Amino acid sequence: MNSHERAMERRQFLKGTLGAASLVALAGCDNLSHSSWFPSILSKTEKLTERAQRAITPTNALAKEYGEADISKVFPANGNTDPGTGEYAEHVAQEFANWTVMVGGLVQTPTSWTLAALKELPSRTQITRHDCVEGWSAIGKWTGAPLGDLIRQVQPLPNARYAVLYCADVDEDGVLYYESMALADCFHPQTILAYELNGAPLDIPHGAPIRLRFERQLGYKQAKYVTMIELVETLSGIRGGKGGYWEDDQGYEWYAGI
């Protein structure tokens, strides 16, 4: 089966099992796939290597931030919109009081943060545009803790080069969603572990209680339902070795800069 067929099969699966809200989101993907910005972001990510892109965009350049008036009335939810496991359902019942994000791997002091502890850290709020490769975009206001603050606290070892984010959701084959990024990008000022969307606690479809916002990258890098962040030296030993769920399976670019 080629990757297009797999994507189709996945979509059929999603249509067959998810609720009405996600159906709307999927339909939206089809309808919007001809929007004007879509071909340009795709060709950009195809043609530019990470190095070339970093050379033309300073590492700390900010993604464009918008005003309150620009916030999309509906922010679609895409991919998994509920992890659907018993364990996750328990967290929902407890209003995520026992949810933790563990940061470990190549660090001096592995540390876990509860949701409440994350909310006590200094926060950042940003209104940005999310671009999904399936052809839709939406502007939302995100609030969360800068990931760099957590990483500084755990003290990365000198050989740590990447952060791997593990999520609570599994696909139809039982494969857990995961993503990864260069350690340097964890310190970008707009890289946050978000717990609010548009001033309200993150809802389940958008990744409750914690999801990554990594604003200069495409939608599939924005990991939802984050449970664990592991600092590693190489991505090659992890799962398919390509650094993310879509990268392993569908040939998506690891460096999805926009």
Ligand X SMILES: Nc1nc2c(c(=O)[nH]1)N[C@H]1C(S)=C(S)[C@@H](COP(=O)(O)O)O[C@H]1N2
Long-range contacts of 115-119 (CB under 8 A, 24+ apart): 115/195, 115/209, 115/210, 118/144, 118/145, 118/193, 118/195, 118/210, 119/145, 119/195
Sign of the torsion formed by the C-alpha atoms of 210, 85, 83 and 162: positive
Q: Give the nearer residue to Mo ion in terms of CB position, either 106 or 202.
A: 202
Q: Is 132 in the site for Mo ion (CB under 5 A)?
A: yes
Q: Is 146 in the site for Mo ion (CB under 5 A)?
A: no
Nearest to 26 by CA among 8, 11, 10: 11
Non-local CB neighbours of 54 within 8 Å, separated by 6+ positions: 257
The option from ligand X, Mo ion, none interacting with 215 (CB < 5 to 8 A, set by class) reads none
Q: Is 255 in the site for Mo ion (CB under 5 A)?
A: no
Give residue number: closest CB to ligand X: 79
Please give the residue ranges that form the binding site for ligand X (CB under 6 A).
76-80, 132, 167, 169, 177, 205-207, 219-220, 222-225
String of contacts with Mo ion for each residue 219-238, x by CB under 5 A? xx------------------
48 sits in the region (left: phi over 0; alpha: psi -120 to 50; else beta) called beta
CB of 21 to Mo ion, least distance (A): 16
Q: Give the nearer residue to Mo ion in terms of CB position, either 46 or 68.
A: 46
Q: Give the nearer residue to Mo ion in terms of CB position, either 32 or 182.
A: 32
Please report, as ranges, the residues that interact with Mo ion according to CB under 5 A: 132, 219-220
